[in-house]
Structure 1
Amino acid sequence: MLTGDALRMAVGTLTALPTPAPRVIDRRVAAGAMLLAPLAAVPLAVLAGVVVLAGDALRLPAVAVAGLAVGAVGLASRGLHLDGLADTADGLGASFDRTRALDIMRRGDSGPTGVATLVLVLIVQCGALAGAIGAGHGVTAAFAGTLLGRWVLALCCTRGVPSARPEGLGATVAGSVRLLWTILTCGVAAGLATLAPGLPWWRGPVAVAAAFLAAGVVVWRCTARLGGITGDVLGAGVEFAAAAAWLALAP
């Protein structure tokens, strides 16, 4: 499951790093890619931490530093998850016809609901991260929030989560991760979070719980409304999870 193809899929999907294409993409490789998402996201987390560290050294305003860190992560992931967030919001805000909602999500443009949701989530992310920076643990928060935003992908693709479409990224990864692996990845995240430097031992696990809860709510709502997940829904889960983690890590 945790093969070279899985790692290449994870890195190529979640980051803008030049990566060879996987030789094979099947359910097994897709499950491995979702489990390896935190590893693939380490460069993004390091980037966020470096931006915050540099901003602190230059004594820039905390809100500006947070905006630069969030923006750098967005650019380094090709804006993929931000686009998914906007498209998911547009789909959920459309009429109650499931087919029409999915058609709206497939379009390349963003409507007012998607734009408003995107702006509001980014405001929350930047505000929460700025709070952590002001409290003196901005580097830890930037690293942890970025990582946790991708760590939840195993939950979003757990067995029993259906795909809203018969094709696309959602169809490849939906329901591909066994529940046991999801529980283990959540436990590993919580365990590592207790070691987060500059924080009380309990703050990290609270951030993990907040991130997984936020992603779970997104998946639950989209499954009830759309009949399953899509690649866009995964992007929305990532952004909501990161926002929830940063809120938990803010003072």
Structure 2
Amino acid sequence: MSATSSRTALTDGIRFAFGTLTVLPVTVTRWDRDAARTGMVCAPLAGLVVGLAAAALGGALTFLGAGALLAAVASVAVPAALTRGLHLDGLADVADGLGSGKPPADALAVMKQSDIGPFGVVTLVLVLLAQVAVLAQLYAQSWAQGAVAAVVSAVTARLALTFASRTGVPAARPEGLGAAVAETVRPRAALLTGAVIAALALPLSLGSALAVVLGCAAAELLLRKCVRRFGGVTGDVFGAVAETAATAALVTLAM
């Protein structure tokens, strides 16, 4: 592949990552397996932009005299807004699907329903409370700790999507975003991406690097449960994996 072709493929992949994982005005120029592969490897880059936006708003509110709690709420709201709440919606749907106790096909049908059941509501409330609680604690210590946590959690959330897209993790349905990106990333590429992200987080603090590792580990546990339960991944599973990774990373930073 020529240098020009490589740059074009990288550009297409980055567009795919931002176009599918954020609401930023980016046009997806290619919607094929090659673009999906590069896009999911570049998913942490989209997380970096989302995290920086969350940190910027939280830090700005802190400098303007707002309390740590308000800064934390703002830092949680920004990723939700920049994804149209799709990851949170996926988390709620997966909670309902897992909690239904139904066979795989019926559980997938539950997840496709537009309403949110009791399992989804409780899961959403607890996850959002945990995220706000951790960020409020860190912003209270210093705006920098809160800002770093916002960035680390957002990047970790998208890194978990890179791992969830690896070969060997099938799609549960033949259609949808899950099917579009499932099994596109080679395991070696996913591990290399994870190692790079953890290495880049290490200069921030040992806790930041550990948050990346443990956040992805928690997401992996959920991913495996979903594959066993549903037969593979869906767009909802990707959302649930991302929110699980973000929350676990934040809890690690709090401790």
Q: What TM-score, normalized by structure 2, do the two folds share?
A: 0.92
Where structure 1 has 5 or more consecutive residues not aligned to the other structure, the ranges are none
- Write the distance in 2 (CA, Å) between the matches of 1:38 and 1:119: 25
- 1:1-251 pair list within 5 angstroms: 2-22=9-29, 24-136=30-142, 137-196=145-204, 201-251=205-255
What residue identity is the alignment partner of 1:148? T
Say whether the 8 Å CA contact 2:47–2:155 is kept in structure 1.
yes
Instruction: State the secondary structure of the residue aligned to 2:100.
Output: coil
Give the root-mean-square deviation of aligned CA atoms: 1.4
User: CA offsets per residue over residues 93-131 of structure 1, 9 Å max, x none?
Assistant: 113311110011112211111111111111111111112
Instruction: State the secondary structure of the residue aligned to 1:39.
Output: helix
User: CA offsets per residue over residues 160-186 of structure 1, 9 Å max, x none?
Assistant: 001111111111111111011011011
Where structure 2 has 5 or more consecutive residues not aligned to the other structure, the ranges are 1-5
Say whether the 8 Å CA contact 1:129–1:247 is kept in structure 2.
no
Aligned-pair distance for 1:64?
2.0
- Write the distance in 1 (CA, Å) between the matches of 2:181 and 2:82: 22
- Write the distance in 2 (CA, Å) between the matches of 1:138 and 1:59: 15
Aligned-pair distance for 1:192?
0.4
What residue identity is the alignment partner of 1:11? F
What residue identity is the alignment partner of 2:148? T
- Write the distance in 2 (CA, Å) between the matches of 1:194 and 1:51: 24
User: CA offsets per residue over residues 190-217 of structure 1, 9 Å max, x none?
Assistant: 1001111xxxx32122101111111101
- Write the distance in 2 (CA, Å) between the matches of 1:76 and 1:169: 17
Aligned-pair distance for 1:21?
2.7
After TM superposition, where is structure 1 displaced by more than 6 Å over at least 4 residues in a row? none
- Write the distance in 2 (CA, Å) between the matches of 1:237 and 1:59: 34
Aligned length: 246
Say whether the 8 Å CA contact 1:11–1:41 is kept in structure 2.
no
What residue identity is the alignment partner of 2:13? A
What residue identity is the alignment partner of 1:107? Q
User: CA offsets per residue over residues 40-60 of structure 1, 9 Å max, x none?
Assistant: 233211111111211221232
Say whether the 8 Å CA contact 1:101–1:226 is kept in structure 2.
yes
Instruction: State the secondary structure of the residue aligned to 1:93.
Output: helix
